[in-house]
Every structure is written in C-alpha cells, then in structure tokens.
C-alpha cells in the first residue's frame, strides 16, 4: 500500500483528499500545524503535527513514513489578508513550499501533486480561462501560488521532481457522509457564510459589491465540488505513477454562478430565506473566473459528477447541520 504525505491534511480540502486516498487504497499521512486545520478532521491515516518551515521535522517525517508522493495543500488563502499582509503570504506559502520540496528531494520522494489556484490568472474580462491563459495575479495569494509553480518547474529540471499542478476554481460542498466538511475560523467562503446566515449563526451574509459588469452586478465564479476536486488529485497521482510528463490542469466545470444565483439556489435547497446585506467591493476580487478547459477531462479522465450547485449546497447543508469540529 503506497503512502502519501498530505500537507494541510487537517484542512477543508486536505481532509477530503485523505478520505479519497484511503478509499483508493493509499495510506494518507497528514502533516499539519493546526493553525487553520482541525485535529478532528484527521480520520483516515496517521497524523504528524509540524510546520512547513521546520526542515528537521519534515526530514523526520519523511524518514519515518517513507512516502511515495507528496500532495501539497497547506497554505494561507484569504484574499483580503493577502492584500493587507503580503509578506505573510510570501513567507508562509512560498518559503514553506520550497522547504517541503527540498526535504522531498533529499528523501528521494519525487512525485509531487500541488494545489494551485485560478487566482494565478488574475482578471481577464470576458475570457474563459485555460491552462495557456496569461498569469497575472492580482494579490499575494495568487502571486505566491504562481511562484511555487515556477519553483516546481525548476526542481523538475534540476532534481527530477515530477509534478502535477491543479489550478482550481471555487471549491464547495462537503463529504456526502458528513465525516468531514468545510469549516474555517474565521469563515470567509460564500456558501458556509450563507448557511451560517440561514441558520442564524450570523446576522446576515454580506454581498461584496453589486456594480460588477455581470448580468446581476455580482461576481461570477466557477464552483467545483470538493469530492470531485480530490478525485482529480488521486488521478494526478496515477498520472505520475504511469511516468507521464509534468502537467498543469484547471479544475472547474465551465459554468459560472453569480453571488445572487448562489443565494437563490441556497433558498431552493434549504427552503429558507437568506438574510443578506450589500457591502462595498473587496480589494483583489475579480469580476469573473470561469474555467474554459477540458484538459482534465480529456487527459486525466476526470468527470466532475457532483459539481451542480444544488448538489454542492445540499452536501454543505448536511455537513453544516451535523458535523462542525467545534460542536
């Protein structure tokens, strides 16, 4: 049974990846500092607490578990914070990833699956985004992920580090069995914020800006179900195992939903009103981010089966009602 080191495996996407890996016959080893992750989310394999900046700790973990590959999710990812504290993002995301790659190469672990983002593209009005679109990030979050992509290419050329990079769009939904789900502190993602408002855990959802150049004035995003997303990561491991070339894949559905449309869908799924208020635009937000790529489907054989908005909200609502780590 192959062992996979999953950085950030106690977080939202990482915990779902660990479940998918276990179901696929792998042993996921979670490496997480628990700054934004949750110990209760580590349910599918061993746990090692540590920081990406701690090279000695990483070396110990590689020596102990001898992973066959790394699946790297651990990063800071709040756009507003990235705008106000760029140094934090460059230090945490880029230096952390560099230290991880150096430790992996030293341990002879040369298969690397990286969680990147469509935020590396920046804003391209009226353009559907594919893997060849110019990358012009608007904030330190997207810029830090773009920098890591560059380091991966350099390590591939210099050290034979094989890699698959996934640039994904807005991740939503939760494990249908509600074993793990989406929970951040503070919460910044649209759907859990909206469900909190529906459930009375916050007064109202804030809609940031209604003057964008979209049909209803609110931002448009491409949403992909977290379970579909992590299935692609497992396929990425298989891609590397088969000796295929280093590759970049967008993960999105090609369908965009505005904030108002997501609110309408939530009302339909939960049969409850969504209390919301209008706020100003957030610095660093793009008008429209929608994938125009089919590369993951045609080359990896990936199908985003659960990624309808109704299904994503339904699964998120189930988790919201039954599974929070804080009780």
pLDDT digits (tens, 9 = 90+) for 230-248: 999 999 999 999 999 999 9
pTM score of the predicted model: 0.94
How does pLDDT run across 176-228, given as a tens digit for each residue? 999 999 887 777 889 999 998 998 888 899 999 999 999 999 999 999 999 99
Catalytic residue among 141, 168, 212, 223: 141
**pLDDT confidence of residue 327:** 45
Angle formed at CA 319 by CA 314 and CA 322, multiple of 5 degrees: 125
- Does residue 155 contact residue 161 with C-beta atoms inside 8 Å? yes
Answer whether residue 327 is part of any domain: no
In a domain, 118, yes or no: yes
Is residue 151 located within the same domain as residue 264? no
Return d(Cα 181, Cα 228) in angstroms, integer: 14
Instruction: Give strand pairing partners of 168.
Output: 117, 251
Question: Is the residue at 17 inside a domain?
Answer: yes
Those residues whose C-beta lies under 8 Å from the C-beta of residue 165, and which sit 6 or more positions away, are 114, 116, 149, 152, 246, 247, 248, 249
pLDDT in tens, 114-154: 999 988 998 776 677 899 999 999 889 999 999 999 999 99
Contact 269, 317 (CB under 8 A): yes
**Which domain CATH number covers 270?**
3.90.25.10
- Return d(Cα 63, Cα 49) in angstroms, integer: 15
pLDDT grade, residue 83 (50/70/90)? confident
% of the chain residues with pLDDT over 90: 79
User: Do residues 204 and 67 both lie within one domain?
Assistant: no
From CA 169, how far away is CA 218, in angstroms rounded?
A: 17
Give me the domain span that covers residue 293. Answer: 190-221+254-322
The confidence band for 284, taking pLDDT boundaries of 50, 70 and 90, is: low
CB 80 within 8 A of CB 284: yes
Q: What is the dihedral of CA 70, 76, 79, 83, to 10 degrees?
A: -120
Q: Please tell me whether residues 120 and 198 are part of one structural domain.
A: no
Q: CB within 8 A of 294, min separation 6: which ones? A: 254
- Do 126 and 217 sit in the same domain of this protein? no
Pair 138, 283 in one domain = no
How many domains does the chain fold into? 2
Residue at 185 is within a domain: no
Q: What is the CATH number of the domain that holds 81?
A: 3.40.50.720
Q: Kindly state whether residues 272 and 231 are assigned to the same domain.
A: no
Give residue-wise pLDDT tens across range 32-79: 999 989 999 999 999 999 999 999 999 999 999 999 999 999 998 777
Give yes or no: 31 in active site. no
Tens digits of per-residue pLDDT, 7-27? 999 999 999 999 999 999 999
Q: What is the dihedral of CA 17, 21, 22, 28, to 10 degrees?
A: -80
217 and 228, same domain (yes or no): no
Same domain, 58 and 85: yes
Cα gap 195→272, rounded to integer Å: 10
């Amino acid at each position: 049974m192959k062992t996979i080191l999953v950085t950030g495996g106690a977080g939202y996407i990482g915990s779902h990846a660990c479940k998918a890996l276990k179901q696929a016959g792998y042993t996921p080893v979670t490496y997480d500092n628990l700054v934004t992750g949750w110990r209760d989310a580590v349910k599918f394999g061993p746990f090692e607490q540590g920081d990406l900046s701690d090279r000695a700790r990483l070396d110990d973990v590689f020596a102990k578990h001898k992973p066959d590959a790394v699946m790297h999710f651990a990063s800071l990812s709040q756009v507003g914070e990235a705008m106000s504290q760029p140094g934090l993002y460059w230090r945490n995301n880029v230096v952390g990833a560099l230290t991880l790659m150096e430790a992996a190469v030293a341990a002879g672990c040369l298969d690397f699956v990286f969680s990147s983002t469509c935020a590396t593209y920046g804003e391209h009005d009226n353009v559907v985004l594919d893997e060849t679109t110019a990358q012009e990030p608007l904030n330190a979050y997207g810029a830090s992920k773009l920098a890591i992509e560059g380091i991966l290419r350099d390590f591939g050329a210099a050290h034979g580090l094989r890699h698959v990079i996934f640039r994904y769009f807005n991740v939503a939904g939760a494990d249908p069995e509600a074993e793990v789900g989406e929970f951040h502190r503070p919460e910044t993602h649209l759907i859990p914020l909206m469900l909190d408002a529906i459930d009375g855990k916050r007064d109202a959802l804030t809609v940031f800006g209604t003057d964008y150049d979209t049909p209803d004035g609110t931002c448009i995003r491409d949403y992909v179900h977290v379970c579909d997303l992590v299935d692609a990561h497992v396929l990425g491991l298989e891609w590397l195992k088969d000796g295929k070339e280093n590759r970049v894949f967008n993960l999105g559905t090609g369908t965009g939903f505005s904030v108002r449309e997501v609110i309408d869908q939530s009302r339909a799924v939960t049969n409850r009103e969504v209390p919301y208020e209008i706020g100003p635009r957030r610095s660093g937000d793009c008008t429209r981010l929608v994938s125009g790529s089919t590369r993951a489907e045609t080359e990896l054989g990936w199908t985003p089966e659960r990624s309808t908005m109704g299904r994503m909200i339904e699964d998120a609502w189930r988790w919201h009602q039954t599974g929070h780590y804080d009780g």
